[in-house]
Structure 1
Amino acid sequence: MHERVTIRPADLSEVEAIASMWQETSKWLHSKGVDQWQYPADEEKITRDVTSGTAYVVTSAGKYLGTITVDENADPEFWAKKDLPTEAIYGHRIIILPHARGKSVGATVLDWASRKAEKAGKRWLRVDAWKTNTELARYYEGQGFEHVRTVDLPHRRSGALFQREAGTITGAGPGFLGLESPLHEPDGTRSTEGQWGWYAG
């Protein structure tokens, strides 16, 4: 197990690294017979997420362990008005690299996101998962998420919806240092003013 991981905002120079994490995970999933993410990463979308300050990378000892994007953007095809979508933070593009699996890094990333949702005054941390990835569904349930429902739309491969109460911490993974920073400046550079960190574990 890693002693502690760092979760920090991604920089524009790391868009390619995040896309590479997607590709590596896609190949790993294919080797396991899972049809999830069998297409190239959308680097334009990753760039938008990095620029908006919602894409994060997970590192330890200078090495990438994974990535996560968290925002308040509820997918309207999945989350209905009855779900009170503004009361949640949503996790997207959650990747733990194959070499970091089995070390409970995923549990740490979800604990970090849960704490982040709580700090934002939200009630829920929510994710949507690939409908056919039953192992991933079991994993989320094992991490304290409840299965809300599965939205089965023919043009969407994701749609298994899960949520966990904001602030719920399993403590199953290594501790983390969570860094935050203001958004990028208009010229695309990231301001370092006001950067702060918080610890857990």
Structure 2
Amino acid sequence: MSDWQDEWETEIDVPSLIIREAKPSDADAVRELLVEAANWMVQKGIDQWRPESFTREEVSSYFDSRRIFLGFAGDEPAAMFTLQESDPSYWGEMNDPDYYYLHRLNVRTKYRRMGLSEQMMKWAIQKTLEDGKKGIRLDCVSTNLNLNLLYQSLGFRYMATRYNGDRQFNLYEWFTTGQEEDDLDFVYFGKWDYDAIQQWAGSPEFLLGWAGPHWQYPLQDEQLDEYLSGANFPWKSDRLIYTVIHRASGQRIGHISLEDLNRETGEGWIGKVIIGSAAFRGKGLGERMVREMLRIAFDILKLNKISLRVFAWNQRAIRSFHSAGLQEQDDQRMTVQFGDKEEELLLMSIDRNSWNLYQ
């Protein structure tokens, strides 16, 4: 389990939940869960739910507009979520009744840090598939990185950021290729990833080969702290940094980032691309990692051009980048010192029009 999950779960005996759809007669149990969660948020200084919002009348009205599901630990309601078939207030023009929209996920305080959120979410995903929906969608406060990480780690990919008053909400949609062995999850990079990326640094030459000249070997925490500072707030950050997880095995296998994001010029860069786990190299995953960054850059952030630099000797990476749609810019080649010799560094790029045609 990752350190970021500490707020939600830890490695202790996890109760097995019995999950069923709630009935109107369960309204008091549902309200109790919501009020307890809201009180916890107030105590933690989280400006999200308010206890006074969950009146009996309000909670009873949920049964007219959404489906409510309770997770029981023994005979006690321990967790809940709701599903509805429309959510135009957050999803706007993207709203689609062929999806389920999940809200009000919460776990009773005494059962937190036991992995119940993950159990509930996995059950909701399975329920969505059984009901013949295209998928399941949700929103969460952009500044709550732990919550964003939870959803990302469960296969939800970033779709948009929306404003509600003075707060930003990230929209997520569960995604699968249909082949579990091929699914990758893109989870915000954090301090819990430092050890892995430091091991992947390998040597001065290897680090330069995939990370460029901005990092020095050996890769120290201070360099990574600077890299991470201010990152991963999509509506304002100049970089979005991801650890890549192989969903079926749960292994951390790679790293990639969108960097130097300039909303005024509409340009940005892909950087620090590596498949650190040797067992996953040569499987076409590098192309898929790059394509996910291009999807975010063009389809969500609405940038106009994305570029990257790659050493001319790294033919495997160049083939992956070509397959993702990037093209070499022959007039932008340069040489840099690589070990005891000079090496040619290529510029590759793609604009939004080309990306749209490539899809």
**TM-score by structure 1 length?**
0.72
For residue 26 of structure 2, the aligned residue among 7, 14, 17 is: 14
The structure with the largest helix share of the pair is 2
Hey, what does 1:129 align to over in structure 2? 140
Q: Which runs of 4+ in 1 moved over 4 A?
A: none
CA deviations over 1:110-169 (Å, ceiling 9, x no partner): 1111111111211211111134323211221122211211101327x573211113798x
Larger radius of gyration: 2
Hey, what does 2:174 align to over in structure 1? 164
**2:70 partner amino acid:** V
Hey, what does 2:50 align to over in structure 1? 38
Aligned-pair identity in percent equals 24
Check the 8 A contact 1:151/1:159 in 2, yes or no: yes
Check the 8 A contact 1:9/1:50 in 2, yes or no: no
Tell me the secondary structure at the aligned position of residue 39 of structure 2: helix
Higher relative contact order (CA 8 A, sep 6+): 1
Tell me the secondary structure at the aligned position of residue 2 of structure 1: coil
Tell me the secondary structure at the aligned position of residue 68 of structure 1: strand
Unaligned ranges ≥5, structure 2: 1-12, 181-246, 250-359
Unaligned ranges ≥5, structure 1: 173-201
Q: For this pair of structures, how many residues does the alignment match?
A: 169
Q: Kindly state the Cα deviation for residue 58 of structure 1 after the two structures are TM-superposed.
A: 0.9
Once the two structures are superposed, the pairs formed by residues 36-75 of structure 1 within 5 Å of their partners are: 36-40=48-52, 41-50=54-63, 54-73=67-86, 75=87
Residues 171, 8 of structure 1: CA spacing in aligned structure 2 closer, same or farther, 3 A cutoff? farther
Tell me the secondary structure at the aligned position of residue 79 of structure 1: helix
Check the 8 A contact 1:15/1:46 in 2, yes or no: yes
Residues 86, 50 of structure 1: CA spacing in aligned structure 2 closer, same or farther, 3 A cutoff? closer
Check the 8 A contact 1:70/1:89 in 2, yes or no: yes
Q: Kindly state the Cα deviation for residue 48 of structure 1 after the two structures are TM-superposed.
A: 2.9
**TM-score by structure 2 length?**
0.42
Q: Structure 2 CA distance, aligned partners of 1:30 and 1:126?
A: 26
CA-atom RMSD in angstroms: 2.8
**1:66 partner amino acid:** A
Residues 161, 53 of structure 1: CA spacing in aligned structure 2 closer, same or farther, 3 A cutoff? closer
Q: Structure 1 CA distance, aligned partners of 2:127 and 2:175?
A: 12
